[in-house]
């Protein structure tokens, strides 16, 4: 089964950056990748994803990560992007915003990208995402920090968070979320890191980069299909990822 890198942030107006970063991931053997365009129009982004897929050996997916200032701002953004054809994620340092997002069926993913967010992960948030069939995403980029003290603190916080989510059998995925091209890693290598440093079985670690990501994609498809089909009508589509 193919692995996924679920978060590669790029500046939408920099074509050379896009080509360079995608070529590196292609060279190290990644088959599936999610692009997150920074500061760009949503419809334009999706068109670019389609164009990039035509010229890449990888399967390229689109994700939008909302960074709301407050709950009212999140409500407005969710309304604006309710027809999103891609993964809709929410990232915030505010616990209340994360809890609100976890209750909303339009949100596919709650992204935890720094030590504060990871340390504040609660059983309540895990239960909310589990009940809503959405996912919690853990970023692994902080484990490559050059500052060993900061690196160690993040690993301890991440270890505790992972134990919580495994205990409740919650929904989780992992992403590299790397900015520096020299930090890029194949998700298979990152799964080994999770197994070695986070007390996970190798199978559980791999799920965070494979099976669970496929479930996330299916959730997004189901959410989108519900916008166009009446209740009780089932829409069957051909699997289109490299599984």
145-204 residue pLDDT tens: 778 899 999 999 999 999 999 999 999 999 999 999 999 999 999 999 999 999 999 999
Residue with structure tokens 């935890």? 112
pLDDT of residue 213: 98
Max CA pair span of the chain: 54
Q: Which CATH number fits domain 4-226: 1.10.10.10, 3.90.1150.10, 3.40.50.2020, 3.20.20.140?
A: 3.20.20.140
Does residue 231 register a pLDDT over 50? no
Q: Residue 49: CB partners within 8 Å, gap ≥ 6? A: 35, 60, 61, 62, 86
Q: Where are the domains of the chain?
A: 4-226
Tell me the pLDDT band of 83, cut-offs 50, 70 and 90. Answer: confident
pLDDT of residue 98: 98
pLDDT of residue 42: 64
User: Within 10 A of 17 (CB to CB), how many other CB atoms are there?
Assistant: 13
The order of strands in the sheet holding 87-90 is: 4-11, 32-38, 59-66, 87-90, 109-112, 135-139, 172-175
* Contact (CB, 8 A) for 179 and 143: no
pLDDT of residue 234: 39
Give the N- to C-terminal CA distance of the chain in Å, as an integer. 5
d(CA 116, CA 192): 24
Does residue 237 register a pLDDT over 70? no
Tell me the pLDDT band of 84, cut-offs 50, 70 and 90. Answer: confident
Which residue(s) pair with 109 in the sheet? 89, 135
User: Within 10 A of 241 (CB to CB), how many other CB atoms are there?
Assistant: 14
* pTM of the model as a whole: 0.88
Tens of pLDDT, residues 156-165:
999 999 999 9
pLDDT of residue 227: 55
3-state secondary structure of 114: coil
């Amino acid at each position: 089964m193919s692995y996924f890198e679920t978060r590669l942030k790029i500046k939408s107006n920099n074509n050379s950056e896009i080509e360079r970063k995608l070529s590196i991931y292609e060279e190290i053997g990644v088959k599936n990748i999610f692009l997150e365009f920074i500061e760009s129009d949503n419809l334009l982004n999706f068109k670019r994803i389609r164009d990039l897929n035509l010229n890449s050996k990888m399967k390229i997916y689109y994700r939008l990560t909302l960074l709301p200032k407050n709950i009212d701002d999140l409500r407005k953004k969710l309304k604006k992007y309710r027809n999103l054809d891609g993964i809709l994620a929410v990232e915030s340092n505010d616990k209340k915003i994360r809890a609100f997002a976890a209750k909303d069926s339009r949100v596919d993913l709650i992204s935890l990208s720094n030590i504060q967010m990871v340390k504040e992960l609660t059983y309540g948030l895990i239960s909310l995402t589990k009940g809503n069939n959405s996912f919690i995403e853990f970023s692994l980029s902080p484990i490559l920090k050059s500052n060993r003290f900061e690196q160690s603190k993040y690993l301890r916080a991440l270890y505790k968070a992972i134990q919580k989510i495994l205990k409740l059998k919650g929904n989780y995925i992992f992403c590299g979320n790397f900015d520096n091209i020299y930090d890029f890693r194949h998700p298979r290598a990152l799964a080994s890191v999770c197994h070695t440093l986070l007390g996970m079985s190798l199978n559980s670690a791999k799920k965070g980069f494979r099976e669970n990501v496929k479930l996330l994609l299916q959730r997004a498809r189901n959410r989108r299909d519900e916008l166009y089909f009446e209740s009780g009508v089932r829409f069957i589509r051909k699997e289109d990822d490299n599984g």
